[in-house]
């Protein structure tokens, strides 16, 4: 492939940084190779390898905002530094102050079990074909399937004018099994997904259960009745609770939301009570026992080491997530949460792996006094508009007289963040991580992890036919 | 990289096709009403499809190095090697007249200072009108070209420009957060009226000045053109050749049948002059066209690329789209036009005694939307009382099925006015009766 080496990039970036007239300049070059295999129904829809390489330059001019240039042709690096500086100078804005961080030098290479770059495309196709066949064979009502494998090895070369030099390999593998069961005009879906960072092809072996589960769920949903809309006590499983904490709370703790908005700062003031003392929430790029959660890296895209950040302690807001810019503005410590999808994008404040810490309530105790409620499992998408959030569960059951009862579908939970967190009335003792997948923000999709035990929430509005 | 030059490296296959794209863009970003930064972008990439021995292979690269070009060839051949049998035939040359108004020299030449000036006016006006609201957004222009060449001799090269203004408004009053968004885009800077952008957002911010209680139940609901995407999007999913080919579209076997209220007509128009979704050719070299999808409520067609057309026994409609050079083509929409009705919007609104006006919902498209079901909390929505918008409504959810809602039983009417939405839609206001609105008081 490319003849360029880390040493070569280091020299080029160092020269370009030296030539920059800006007081602060950072340069990121990324090389990415990836493969993707997609089966739809019985047909192999895609089996491909693609290459990507590009650069990102960002400058601060005296008394001004960010000037940025992104590009594919790396031979233009020095010209792009000049263009980024010209951008910064063209529009004088409010000065940006970056929080201080110590310069670092680090080269971290991925430690893969079975290097997916060495696995022939045919072997990947065969693996996905196998998962796809399981879905089609599991139930005759399954008419449509998607089985997807994708991997990528992204190598990031990052240097800034404060002396930081980082090379980081960020391998990522996604595996999806999606089954659609059809009966008349009704189509129901079952979907299983697993995103693994920092792992090799071995994580894809022995995943046949994913395919079987997806097919069975799709089939079961055909028989589930639509949930009756209303207001219920709801118990959500660890996977859905992870999405809940990410959507409902996590996005508000991203400091770019509050940094330039005094009213939002007041709403998200430190020390404010968000929940009962049983509620503890954190975000971490490091506290990951297996090291394969999608948000786990060594550094963010401003060269700041990732760490664990406590967000809520005993129900009280104690922290938030920062870039160097938001930390500088709010005079708080940077947390290593400035992440960019790729060289086409500026880093934004993003979560890594966000989780509700384990509590003390057993699942049985959690549901035993619920006369009529909903047990919702797994997410099928979620969105937050800061104050208000919504997420869909992939499947669900009614809870009747303290027992799990009949399956229901089309369960969409909605609420106001501030009320809903106060309404978290029990936190389970059964914490589990979820290698969830992706989060979108301002057009950038980032791998994120989530985790939680079972959680009970009172008075949740569930949409549906009344 | 030109498509011709890349295709020349694939002479030893039965059929070949190269697609190249390059673009440069320039944008100025505003945060809290102030200039925050400026960005220039240059991108280029190429994607290649090849067929040999009845099997199809694909690869793409945005790495411009010589080494990557060599690897591209190997990747295409590797992909072909493992590919499934394909009946795909790359099309021969076809004449298509250029669509007027897609490239504007002056727009392509806009630089950071000019974009900054336009933005300063927009954000300045918004701040002056709404000092308690925090505005963020950007002013952007782009200029680019696509080219395609295939072994049947077809090929094209098209240039385009684009200009857009997008603004997000955030008003936080302790626990009460309002987030709203406006976007206007066109191929040329003259196609966007900055004052209209300000006015549209400003009107909703005034409507949202106070929050009011809403009495849930089965009520009339009005969707703004933006809000009506909640209804059109599941329909567009079902009208896409991909879901027809897969057998999951609920409309797959209903061509010629009455599927919606007779007042509903919807076309995909790939040749609409001066529209962001237009071009002379699609991303496989098929001429773009105007495709009626729903006429008087009757299902007339689907949108297809070469592959879905061939596999469903229908004609390609010029709707092949790629997500850039690294993506393979699939059917997508160009410009979606929904016909307006007879009555002006104001007159329809005046006829509503107690109802909900919906501009946006949360989580559009999540859950199982293909059968047409939706269930979403409202995001930006208002109470209509005696024909007047009286305040913002929060914490209620909408639920229903788009085939019912756009059917004869529920549809009250479509406004005469048809408005541009997100650059590629032209949509009327939609008036619906007896839609289920759930709130906290509903047990």
B390 closest CA partner among B415, B355, B359, B361:
B355
Domain parsing of chain A, residue ranges? 6-223, 226-462
pLDDT digits (tens, 9 = 90+) for A50-77: 999 999 999 998 877 899 999 999 999 9
Helix axes A121-138, A208-223, angle to 10 degrees: 30
Is residue B225 scored above 70 in pLDDT? yes
CA-nearest residue to B311 within chain A is A43
Burial degree of A340 (CB within 10 A; 0-12, 13-18, 19+): buried
The B residues from 272 to 291 touching A (CB cutoff 8 Å) are: none
Q: Read off the pLDDT band of B440 (50, 70, 90).
A: low
Helix extents (H) in B192-305? 194-207, 229-238, 241-246
More confident residue, B436 or B99: B99
A410 Cβ under 8 Å from any chain B Cβ: yes
The confidence score (pLDDT) of residue A41 equals: 87
- Rounded mean pLDDT, A332-347: 96
Which of A48, A61, A246, A409 best tests the B interface by mutation, with the highest count of B CBs <10 A? A48
Q: Retrieve residue B110's tokens.
A: 């806009």
pLDDT digits (tens, 9 = 90+) for A403-458: 999 999 888 888 888 889 999 999 999 999 988 788 888 889 999 999 999 999 99
A328 Cβ under 8 Å from any chain B Cβ: no
Q: Read off the pLDDT band of A464 (50, 70, 90).
A: low
- Percent of chain A exceeding pLDDT 70 equals 97
Beta bridge partners of B50: B16, B57
Task: Give the Cα separation of A301 and B36 in Å (integer).
Answer: 19
B365 Cβ under 8 Å from any chain A Cβ: yes
Which of A3, A153, A263 best tests the B interface by mutation, with the highest count of B CBs <10 A? A263
pLDDT digits (tens, 9 = 90+) for A13-31: 999 999 999 999 999 999 9
CB A229 within 8 A of CB A464: yes
pLDDT digits (tens, 9 = 90+) for A129-165: 999 999 999 999 998 899 999 999 999 999 999 999 9
A421 closest CA partner among A248, A254, A270:
A248
Which of B23, B63, B322 best tests the A interface by mutation, with the highest count of A CBs <10 A? B63
The confidence score (pLDDT) of residue A389 equals: 81
pLDDT digits (tens, 9 = 90+) for B341-387: 999 999 999 999 999 999 999 888 777 788 898 888 899 999 999 99
Residue labelled with tokens 């008075």: A459
The confidence score (pLDDT) of residue A381 equals: 77
Strands A338-339 and A348-349: antiparallel
Beta bridge partners of B331: B320
What three-state secondary structure class fits A369?
A: coil
Out of A90, A187, A389, name the one closest to residue B370 (CB): A187
Average pLDDT, chain A: 92
The Cα angle at residue B408 between residues B406 and B411, in degrees rounded to 5: 50
CA-nearest residue to A1 within chain B is B67
- Rounded mean pLDDT, A35-59: 95
The confidence score (pLDDT) of residue A329 equals: 93
Is residue B234 scored above 70 in pLDDT? yes
Q: What DSSP line would sit under A179-210, residue for residue?
A: EEEEETTEEEEEEEEEEEES--GGGGTT-HHH
The confidence score (pLDDT) of residue B54 equals: 94
| Contact call for A385 and B397, based on CB within 8 A | no
Q: Read off the pLDDT band of B442 (50, 70, 90).
A: very low
Is residue B443 scored above 60 in pLDDT? no
The confidence score (pLDDT) of residue A465 equals: 55
The confidence score (pLDDT) of residue B173 equals: 83
- What's the sign of the alpha-carbon dihedral A441, A447, A451, A456? positive
pLDDT digits (tens, 9 = 90+) for B122-156: 999 999 999 999 999 999 999 999 999 999 999 99
Q: How far is B326 from chain A (nearest CA, A)?
A: 7
**Domains of chain B with CATH codes:** 3-206 (3.30.2290.10), 210-443 (no CATH)
pLDDT digits (tens, 9 = 90+) for B75-108: 999 999 999 889 999 999 999 999 999 999 999 9
pLDDT digits (tens, 9 = 90+) for B197-220: 999 999 999 999 999 999 999 999
Is residue A260 scored above 50 in pLDDT? yes
Strands B336-338 and B425-439: parallel
The confidence score (pLDDT) of residue B438 equals: 83
ipTM of predicted assembly, 2 dp: 0.90
Topology of domain A6-223 in CATH is: PmbA/TldD fold (3.30.2290)
Task: Give the Cα separation of B309 and B326 in Å (integer).
Answer: 22
In A82-164, beta strands by DSSP E: 105-108, 142-160
Name the maximum alpha-carbon separation found in chain A.
Answer: 72
The confidence score (pLDDT) of residue B157 equals: 96
Q: Write out chain A residues lying below 8 Å of B134, CB-based.
A: 260-261, 263-264
Q: Retrieve residue A18's tokens.
A: 């030296």
Q: What DSSP line would sit under A137-149, residue for residue?
A: HH-TTEEEEEEEE
Report the half-sphere exposure of B425 (CA within 13 A, side-chain side): 18
pLDDT digits (tens, 9 = 90+) for A279-329: 999 999 886 667 899 999 899 999 999 899 999 999 999 999 999 999 999
| Contact call for B82 and A67, based on CB within 8 A | no
B77 Cβ under 8 Å from any chain A Cβ: no
- Percent of chain B exceeding pLDDT 90 equals 86
Task: Give the Cα separation of A345 and A326 in Å (integer).
Answer: 17
Task: Give the Cα separation of B221 and B430 in Å (integer).
Answer: 8
The confidence score (pLDDT) of residue A319 equals: 97
Is residue B233 scored above 90 in pLDDT? yes
Name the region of A458 (left: φ>0; alpha: ψ -120 to 50; beta: rest). Answer: beta
């Amino acid at each position: 492939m490319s003849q360029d080496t880390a040493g070569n990039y280091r020299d080029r970036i160092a020269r370009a940084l030296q030539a920059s007239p800006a007081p602060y300049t950072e340069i990121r070059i990324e090389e990415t190779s990836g493969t993707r295999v997609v089966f739809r129904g019985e047909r192999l829809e895609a089996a491909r390898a693609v290459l990507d390489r590009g650069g990102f330059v960002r400058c601060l001019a005296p008394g001004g905002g960010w000037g940025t240039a992104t590009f594919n042709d790396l031979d233009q690096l020095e010209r792009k530094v000049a263009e980024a500086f010209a951008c910064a100078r063209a529009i004088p804005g409010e000065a940006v102050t970056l929080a201080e961080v110590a310069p670092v030098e680090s080269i971290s290479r991925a430690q893969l079990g079975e290097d997916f770059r060495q696995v022939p495309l045919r072997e990947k196709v065969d693996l996905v074909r196998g998962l796809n066949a399981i879905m089609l064979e599991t139930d005759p009502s399954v008419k449509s399937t998607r089985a997807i494998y994708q991997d990528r090895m992204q190598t990031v070369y990052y240097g800034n004018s404060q002396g930081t030099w980082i090379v980081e390999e960020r391998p990522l593998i996604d595996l999806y099994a999606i089954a659609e069961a059809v009966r008349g005009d009704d189509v129901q879906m079952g979907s299983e997904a697993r995103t693994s960072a920092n792992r090799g092809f071995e994580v894809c072996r022995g995943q046949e259960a994913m395919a079987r589960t997806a097919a069975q769920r799709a089939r079961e949903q055909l028989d589930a009745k639509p949930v009756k809309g209303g207001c219920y006590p709801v118990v959500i499983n660890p996977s859905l609770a992870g999405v809940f904490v990410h959507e409902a709370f996590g996005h508000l703790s991203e400091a770019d939301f509050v940094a330039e908005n005094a009213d939002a700062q007041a709403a998200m003031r430190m020390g404010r009570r968000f929940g009962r003392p049983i509620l503890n929430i954190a975000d971490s790029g490091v506290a990951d026992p297996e090291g394969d959660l999608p948000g786990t890296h060594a550094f963010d895209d401003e060269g700041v080491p990732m760490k664990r950040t406590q967000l809520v302690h005993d129900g009280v807001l104690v922290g938030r997530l920062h870039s160097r810019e938001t930390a500088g503005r709010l005079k708080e410590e940077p947390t290593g949460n400035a992440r960019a999808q790729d060289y086409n994008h500026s880093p934004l404040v993003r979560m890594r792996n966000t989780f509700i810490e384990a509590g003390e309530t057993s699942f049985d105790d959690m549901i035993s006094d619920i006369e009529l409620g909903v047990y919702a499992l797994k997410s099928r998408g979620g969105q937050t508009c800061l104050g208000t959030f919504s997420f869909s569960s992939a499947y669900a059951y009614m809870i009747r007289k303290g027992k799990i009862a009949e399956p229901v579908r089309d369960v969409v939970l909605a609420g106001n963040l501030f009320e809903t967190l106060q309404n978290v009335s029990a936190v389970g003792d059964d914490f589990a991580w979820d290698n969830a997948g992706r989060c979108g923000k301002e057009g950038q999709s980032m791998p994120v992890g989530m985790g939680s035990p079972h959680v009970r929430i009172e008075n949740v509005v569930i949409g549906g036919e009344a | 990289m030109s498509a011709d030059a890349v295709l020349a490296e694939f002479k030893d296959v039965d059929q070949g096709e190269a697609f190249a794209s390059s673009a440069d863009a320039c944008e100025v970003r505003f945060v809290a009403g102030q200039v925050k930064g400026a960005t220039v972008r240059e991108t280029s990439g190429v994607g290649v499809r090849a067929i040999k021995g009845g099997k199809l292979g694909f690869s793409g690269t945005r790495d411009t190095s010589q080494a990557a070009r060599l690897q591209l060839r190997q990747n295409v051949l590797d992909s072909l090697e493992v590919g499934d049998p394909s009946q795909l035939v790359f099309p021969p040359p076809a004449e298509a007249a250029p669509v007027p108004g897609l490239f504007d020299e002056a727009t392509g030449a806009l630089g950071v200072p000019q974009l900054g000036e336009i933005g300063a006016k927009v954000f300045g006006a918004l701040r002056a009108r709404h000092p308690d609201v925090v505005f963020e957004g950007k002013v952007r222009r782009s200029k680019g070209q696509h080219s395609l060449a295939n072994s049947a001799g077809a090929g094209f090269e098209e240039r385009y420009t684009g200009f857009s203004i997008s603004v997000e408004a955030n008003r936080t009053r302790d626990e009460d957060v309002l987030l709203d968004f406006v976007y206007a885009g066109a191929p040329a800077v003259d196609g966007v009226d900055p004052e209209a952008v300000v006015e549209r957002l400003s009107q909703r911010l005034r409507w949202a000045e106070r929050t009011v209680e809403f009495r849930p139940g089965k009520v009339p609901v009005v969707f703004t053109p933006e809000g009506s995407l909640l209804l059109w999007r599941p329909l567009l999913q079902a009208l896409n050749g991909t879901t027809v080919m897969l057998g999951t579209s609920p409309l797959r076997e209903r061509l010629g049948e009455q599927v919606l209220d007779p007042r509903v007509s919807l076309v995909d128009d790939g040749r609409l002059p001066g529209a962001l979704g237009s071009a002379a050719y699609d991303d496989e070299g098929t001429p773009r066209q105007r495709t009626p999808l729903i006429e008087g409520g009757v299902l007339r067609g689907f949108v297809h690329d070469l592959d879905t057309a061939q596999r469903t026994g229908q004609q390609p409609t010029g709707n092949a789209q790629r997500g850039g050079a690294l993506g393979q083509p699939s059917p997508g929409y160009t410009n979606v036009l929904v016909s307006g009705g007879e009555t002006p919007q104001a007159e329809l609104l005046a006829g509503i005694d107690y109802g909900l006006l919906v501009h946006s919902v949360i989580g559009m498209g999540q859950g199982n939307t293909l059968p047409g079901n939706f269930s979403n909390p409202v995001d930006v929505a208002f109470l209509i009382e005696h024909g007047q918008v009286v305040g913002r409504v929060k914490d209620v959810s909408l639920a229903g099925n788009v085939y019912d809602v756009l059917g004869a039983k529920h549809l009250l009417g479509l406004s005469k006015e048809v408005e541009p939405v997100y650059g590629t839609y032209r949509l009327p206001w939609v008036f619906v009766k007896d839609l289920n609105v759930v709130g906290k008081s509903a047990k």
